[in-house]
Structure 1
């Protein structure tokens, strides 16, 4: 498992287990601007992305999608560019927090972050055919909207999923579309110190990545066989 995917999914699982064991409570994790900026609960800027709710179907569904599409991005279009992938995390998290401060009433952003990862992957793999629960066949760019509809069935907030799609599209446009237009230029640039820290080690030539264009593994958003 690549490093950013391993760190993020492990943090999500351990956070959920800690809540289940009553070591911590969701009230210590959720996003609250007053506590962050007045009481200096800085950890809430990060922990609100790590909790998907109590252990159950909703948690399993979200953690599987977060793991799968995070890994496929890191091993696919971000292969060998760990710093760029981490910078995408920072960019997405910053924009989501900014939106949450403006509109309020959103305690946890893990679902939105997962949808952002799915959206970016789907736009970079537009011709991949998907199969959802064996019921729907569609191409990858429709996957975020299918997940949004399914999320509604699970009782999640539409605003959270729409935020993930919006931030994912913003990153995709700034990184993949605008720089290639007439008069366009690259806006998002990974800081050099991140490149020095994360991209210094040589890549193992024997490492075999998980193919980005074959989701596989589960029948939740797969290519039809």
Structure 2
């Protein structure tokens, strides 16, 4: 009984707040149980953004494939359709002297995700292979609406039948 009440209260908290609070509690517990050290939680932007290009390019690739007719303008020099955006960004990265290995990795992962999520399920005999973990659904999905909830009372205040009048001039 107490578990159900806690669960109902927990699910009424907005999804972002719920996720943040859950992450804080789990992180604190993991440090106290010495499963991880505080040093492992250290935020180092250089380490994160150095290996981030792949994730960003992956998101750009998926977006560009889902929006193939959007026209893009790159610094006012190039005008192209959205599916070429990851390749233009990779070329720009190459012009800046950066390694394109991370870009190619992001494009490859984005292509695999796009294929498994958007192409394969629509093929004959295809199906969805990628499923959202139930833990994430429990954290981020909004609770279902109560079908018995009625925001309007049965009787109207004051006893007047508002909206049930006669037409003027009739």
Partner of 1:170: 112
Alignment match of 2:61 (pick from 105, 119, 139): 119
Q: How many pairs were matched up? A: 110
Contact 1:48 1:109 in 2 (8 A): no
SS of the residue 2:48 aligns to: coil
RMSD: 2.9
Partner of 1:73: none
Distance in 1 (alpha carbons) for counterparts of 2:87 and 2:57: 9
Distance in 2 (alpha carbons) for counterparts of 1:165 and 1:149: 13
Distance in 2 (alpha carbons) for counterparts of 1:173 and 1:42: 35
* TM-score with structure 1 setting the length: 0.44
Structure 1 ranges of 4+ moved more than 2 A: 41-44, 46-52
Contact 1:126 1:140 in 2 (8 A): yes
Partner of 1:157: 99
Q: Which runs of 5+ in 2 are unaligned?
A: 1-15, 21-38, 145-170
Distance in 2 (alpha carbons) for counterparts of 1:144 and 1:165: 7
1:135-146 mapped onto 2 (5 Å cutoff): 135-146=77-88
> 1:124 deviation in Å?
0.4
Distance in 2 (alpha carbons) for counterparts of 1:49 and 1:164: 19
Distance in 1 (alpha carbons) for counterparts of 2:55 and 2:131: 20
Structure of greater Rg? 2
Distance in 2 (alpha carbons) for counterparts of 1:198 and 1:50: 28
Distance in 2 (alpha carbons) for counterparts of 1:149 and 1:165: 13
SS of the residue 2:129 aligns to: coil
> 1:43 deviation in Å?
5.3
> 1:130 deviation in Å?
0.5
* TM-score with structure 2 setting the length: 0.57
